[in-house]
Amino acid sequence: MFIKGYSIASVAEMGCCGCFGFSFAKKQKKPRPNSHIGNHMSQERLLNDEVEEEEEEEEDDEDNCSYGDDMSESEKGDHEEFRNPSIRSEDILLYRTQNDLICREFPVKETHRVVRSEDENGNKTVNQYVREYKIGSGSYGKVVLYRSQVDGKHYAIKAFHKSHLLKLRVAPSETAMTDVLREVLIMKMLNHPNIVNLIEVIDDPTTDHFYMVLEYVEGKWVFEGAGPPGGLGQNVSRRYLRDIVSGLMYLHAHNVVHGDIKPDNLLVTATGTVKIGDFSVSQVFEDENDELRRSPGTPVFTAPECCLGLTYHGKAADTWAVGVTLYCMILGQYPFLGDTLQDTYDKIVNDSIWLPAGINPLLKNLLEGLLCKDPTQRLTLEMVAVHPWVVGDEGPIPYFSCWCRRNKLQSKQISDGNITGPVDID
């Protein structure tokens, strides 16, 4: 597959600007799977890749990118500033968890004992989960398909070595363990049909193993599927976009900035529902002040204001990434792509968006609004939800009535003395 004369491999060589705990590299590092730009492989292809039988032992020192080794003092400050807003995400998350301010009716299961064994067929097991095969790799660990002996369902399990996470320095005062624990805390808060669900966390203090048990999404990556050459077609793209916007509106309403919206992090179930995954670079804010400095996301999905080294607003940057994703789904290529990382940033900041002649005028208006260089003039997700192209025959994207919102409304009605029967929040 080639995009504007560039192969996916050539795009990947640009690297990822701080993505998944990597430094803003000055040296060339061996890239990890899923940190590539434009690595739009379907889960189906991942499932057919050669399976490595060694489940936990492999570690590549070349991949252990040290924050301090490759960055100047000013760059360290920039990256530290992203990871530590005025009030750190971890502190906010811990406060919400300790005060039951989470958006779940039933909390994520926490297990503090790991039993690693084999079943009668010689398959490796972790507690009640039977290993089937590796389905992917992240920055800090691998993702393996397991089947539960309790309910017979499949689950995607992220497996980590705690000792490995503690050795990886991602900021002057933080290790990769900080990133993983923040991801866990964020996912413990969330419950939405368009967000990958965290089922269980397995952390035995007597072992080096740490597991995140996630719902298994068996479908393809958003970037691939049926449709005309180079894109998915308007109908499929509209359906996917509605799910993406619904999930992201929910995140933003809970003051969560995803930070890396792109097709690789958008999975489609067998029934065609899109789910947002990978919260490894996400941040949480105490209020509406979502100001950040350094963007950790993937360069071709980076908003113009993030390329300038200035402060920016995370929610607006997420919205830009939605626009790039829609452009990819419609046209099968990136809107801004250069020969180098700097050239790509220059195009993002300076070039006008190219759209083919004859494109649907409503779609053209939507893309131009999402990919507006000025974040103050960019469409908001609320505007996207009621945009005529998005509405189509389905109507505006409905606002999801989440668990914590229902609780707040019910508590208010009780305090106001207005409860006379069952509460119908929806």
- Give catalytic residue positions: 260
Angle at 141 (CA atoms; ends 256, 11), nearest 5 degrees? 75
DSSP structural state of residue 201: E
Task: Report the DSSP pairing between strands 198-203 and 174-175.
Answer: unpaired
Which amino acid does the sequence have at 29?
Answer: K
Q: Is 27 annotated as a binding residue?
A: no
* Rounded Cα distance, 5 and 339, in Å: 10
Q: Return the closest-CA partner of residue 93 out of 114, 77, 108.
A: 108
Please say whether the dihedral angle defined by the alpha carbons of residues 9, 14, 16 and 22, taken in this order, is positive or negative.
positive
Angle between helices 314-331 and 361-370 (to 10 degrees): 140
* Rounded Cα distance, 254 and 288, in Å: 9
* Rounded Cα distance, 140 and 60, in Å: 11
351 φ, ψ to 5°?
Answer: -80, 150
Q: Return the closest-CA partner of residue 146 out of 135, 136, 131, 134.
A: 131
Q: Return the closest-CA partner of residue 324 out of 299, 288, 296.
A: 299
> Whose structure tokens read 């491999």?
9
Q: Return the closest-CA partner of residue 236 out of 300, 316, 328.
A: 328
End-to-end CA distance of the chain: 46
The alpha carbon of residue 140 and the mean position of all alpha carbons in its chain are separated, in whole angstroms, by 15
* Rounded Cα distance, 278 and 183, in Å: 8
Cβ neighbours of residue 5 under 8 Å, at least 6 residues apart?
Answer: none
Radius of gyration of the chain (CA): 21
* Rounded Cα distance, 276 and 325, in Å: 13
The helix or strand, by DSSP H or E, that contains position 268, with its residue range, turns out to be strand 266-268
Residues of the binding site for ATP: 158
